[in-house]
Structures are given as C-alpha cells and as structure tokens.
Chain A
Amino acid sequence: MTQFLGTVAVLVWKDLKLEFRSRDILVSVLVFGLLVALLFSFALKPSPGEGARLAPAILWVALAFSGTITVTRTFVREQEQGGLEGLLLTPASRDAIFLGKALTSFLFMLAVEAVLLPAFSALLAAPLLSAGIAVTAVLATLGFATLGTLFSAIAVQTRSREIMLPVLFFPIILPLLIGAVESSAHALSGGGFSRWLPLMGVFDALFLVLCPWAFGAIMEE
C-alpha cells in the first residue's frame, strides 16, 4: 500500500515538475477561464444586482471548459512524446498510473480555481469565497478529474479527439455539474452546505472505484 502511494506520488511529482518548468497548462487554462467569464458578461450583460444570480452558472461553465482542457493537456503531453508507452513499461501498476494522472489534473484544476474564484467574485460582484463553495469545488473537481482522465485516455486515441472528449464527457458528468451549480447557488444565497454535496460525494466515490478499473481495461490492448 505505501509502495503504491509512493508510486502515485512519484508520478504526480514528475508532472508537477514538468509544469513548474513549462507552465503551459496552468497559464493557458487560467487565461481561457477568464475569457469564458468575459464572454458571458458580454453575452448576458448582467446588471449590478444580477451578478450573484448568474455567478454559479458562469463559474461552472467556465470551470467545465477549462477543466476539459486541463485533463486533455495532461494526457496529450504524455502521449505526444511516447511517454505513456514508457510509463506502461515501468513496474507501476495501471491503477497507480491512473490515480497519478487524475491527481495531477485535480491539483492543476484546484490551482486554477484558487485564482478564478476570487477573480470571478470581483468581476461578478458575488461572494464566491465561502466554505460551502469551497467544499462544492473540491467535490466537483474530484469527479471531474477522475472521469476526465479516463475519457481523455480514450479520446486521445480516437480520430477527431478534440470533439470526442466533450461529447463523451459532458453527458456523463452532467449530474456533477448540476450539483455544483445548485450547490453554489445555495451557498451564495447564504444557505451554507446543500443537500447536493452528498450526491456529489456518491458520484465521486462511484467513479473513483469504476474509472481505475476501466482504465486498466483500456490499457490492456
């Protein structure tokens, strides 16, 4: 068990170091997330009082898009230079490789959210910095990173992979996204923790079990 966690830690550390040197994922995803917020502001033209009402929707659409880019980039970077074949040749188990990738995406997305949440609360004039929203973000990001990693592992193999990931990913992730939007709205209206959080927890737990197994099946080929 400790050896397994050690392997996961090494894999995560490798990706983090790569990111510290290149900074290509975090910076591009961050800029993209802000752009989505900007586009929404122009499209919806929120009046001063409306920011809080629209904030959950804008926040989660922006995070869903930027999250999709994060999981794709994390995988494509490995794929482009034949790194994945290399990883599969090492004694690291398929589960460790999967959890390493998922954890990396999870950390990247949390880092992006840590910047976007304060930025959005200023831009949209909505108090997005609360415990309720923080827990929502962690639960949503966990499920997003887990399923996203599995589906990007499939999507990078297919033709027209840029479209394949969202087509596969969004219908299945939808309950998590609804939960995140509703739970954030609940927190914004001063309600604290919502009943959506347990549902999101169930979603995360289910796919944390299923996805590593499915990843192993894909990589057997």
Chain B
Amino acid sequence: MSSDAVTARISPAKPLGQTTRWLGLLALVLTLADLYLIFLVAPADAVLGQVQRIFYIHVPMAVLSFLAFFLVFVGSLVFLMRRTPRWDRLAHAATEIGVVLVTLALLTGIIWARPVWGVWWTWEPRLTTTLILWLIYVACLMVRAYAPSRSRGAVYAAVVGIIGFADVPIVYYSVQWWRSIHPAPVVGPLAEAGALEPIMLAIFLFSLAAFLVVFLYLLLQRIAVRRLEDQAAGVRLASGGQASPGAP
C-alpha cells in the first residue's frame, strides 16, 4: 500500500517532471542569448577593458546567492514550526545552490580582481562578508551531513540557516566598520545615476533574468532529487536495512 504510493509518485523515465524540463530548456536558451549579448553586443568598458564583461555574471550570481540564503531562512523557519519535509527540502536545495553560486561569485571576483586591482584578494568589506557567508552555509551543509540521522540533520541545518541569516547584517556592519577598493553599487537603490551605460544596464538586467531562470531550474531540480533521496531512504529502510544494488 505504502510502496504503491511510492512508485506512483515517481515516473521512472522522467523523474524531473515536465515543468522542470521546460524550465531547463528555457534556461539553456536564455544562457546562450546572454552569452551572445555579453560578448558580441556589450561594449568593452572604457577603463576596465574586456575583462569588465565578468561583471555580467559575477553580480547576478552574488545577488542570487542572497535570494538563495533568504529562501534557506524562510524554509528553515517554516520547517521548524511545521516540521513538514517539504520545507526542509526547499531549505536544503537552496543552501546547496546558494553555496555553489556564492563560490562562483567569489571565484569570478578573485579572477577579476587580479588584472584590475593587481591582487587576487583584499580584505575589503564586501569580499570579507561574502567569505564569511560562504563559511556559514558550508557549515550548514556539513552539520546536515554529519548529523546522526536525516531528521536531526534537517533540524540542525534549519537552526544554522536561521541563526546564520540573522547574523548577516551584523557581519556586514562590523566588517564595514572594520575596513573600508570594491566599487560602489552601480545598480539598485544605492547607485549613483549614470554610473552604468544604458546598454550595459539593459544587458545586465537580461543577464540577471537569465540567471534567475537558471537558478529556479537548479532549485526545482535539486528539490526533485531531494524528494527521490527521501523516497530511496524510505525504500532502503523498508527493505530491512538491506543495501540495494544502486545504493551509493
């Protein structure tokens, strides 16, 4: 009976679902269009030259990692209150993708800093904050992996997700006071007018949208995989702890 329910929920040939597949296709198309715009349409920066094109991927990834960590916070909070696995799946998927994005934002930043600032790394507030953020969410994934059981790992990760998110503004202010070469924001409410050429702004916004679709695709895919992981764990448990052939 219960195993019927298990098999009913997965479609063996297409475990990811129709929406996710279409989103994946859209993500691919938008990414290719984005690359076309970044390399063939966008002008080279007057001061920074060709390498400035990193901007179009560096900033969207940094922005979306914040969105990911916000989702971790929401998922963790609701999970601790309702204890339904759905919210833990969201928090888990968002943590993992957030860590991937923040890692890439840090690495592309490091690669960009070398030719522009002459150093790979500087202890500038935003870089330092981002590094601390990376450490917090890596710890969040570690505590889940090292917990004595899946259910406990979910609770511990949720606690770290909430505490870590609450800590972010304080980290930002303290690091800001502690040190202050990162360019001032060129988009968003703090931007100075005219800091970014209109064509550059338009391509940046397109890039942000493309990355948002990629982000959503990865998130839905990761949630689906996590659901399968839960089912596989349930199946393994049901078969009396016997390791099934495909078990990792």
Binding site for B on A (CB under 8 A): 147, 150, 154, 157-160, 164, 167-168, 170-172, 174-175, 178-179, 182, 195-196, 199, 202-203, 206-207, 210-211, 214, 217-218, 220-221
Chain B: interface residue total (CB-CB under 8 A): 29
Which are the 7 A-B pairs with shortest beta-carbon distances?
A175-B174, A171-B135, A158-B146, A159-B146, A214-B159, A175-B170, A171-B136
B164 contacts A172, C-beta separation under 8 Å: yes
Stretch of B111-119, B147-155, B186-194 contacting A (4+ beta carbons < 8 Å): B147-155
Give A197 Cβ to nearest chain B Cβ, in Å: 12
A210 to B171 CA separation, bound complex (whole angstroms): 17
The binding surface of chain B is classed by DSSP as helix
- Contact for A178 among B148, B164, B175, CB less than 8 A: B175
Q: Which of A164, A168, A179, A221 contacts B152 (CB 8 A)?
A: A221
Q: List 11 A-B contacts (CB under 8 A).
A: A150-B163, A160-B146, A171-B136, A172-B164, A178-B178, A182-B178, A199-B170, A206-B170, A207-B163, A218-B155, A218-B159
Counting CB contacts under 8 A, is B166 at the interface?
Answer: yes
A168 to B164, CA, bound (A): 9
Residues of B within 8 A of A170 (CB): 135
Given contacts A157-B156, A172-B167, 8 further A-B contacts (CB under 8 A): A150-B163, A154-B143, A157-B147, A178-B175, A182-B178, A199-B173, A210-B162, A218-B159
Distance (whole angstroms) from the CB of A205 to the closest CB of chain B: 11
Given contacts A157-B147, A157-B156, A217-B158, contact A175 B163 (CB under 8 A): no
Contact yes or no, A206 B143, CB < 8 A: no
Of A174, A195, A199, A214, which contacts B132 at CB under 8 A?
A174
Which residues on B are within 8 Å of A, measured CB to CB? Answer: 80, 132, 135-136, 139, 142-143, 146-148, 151-152, 155-156, 158-160, 162-164, 166-167, 170-171, 173-175, 177-178
B160 to A, closest residue via Cβ:
A168
Main secondary structure of the interface of A (DSSP, over half): helix
Contacts of A217 in B (CB 8 A): 80, 155, 158-159
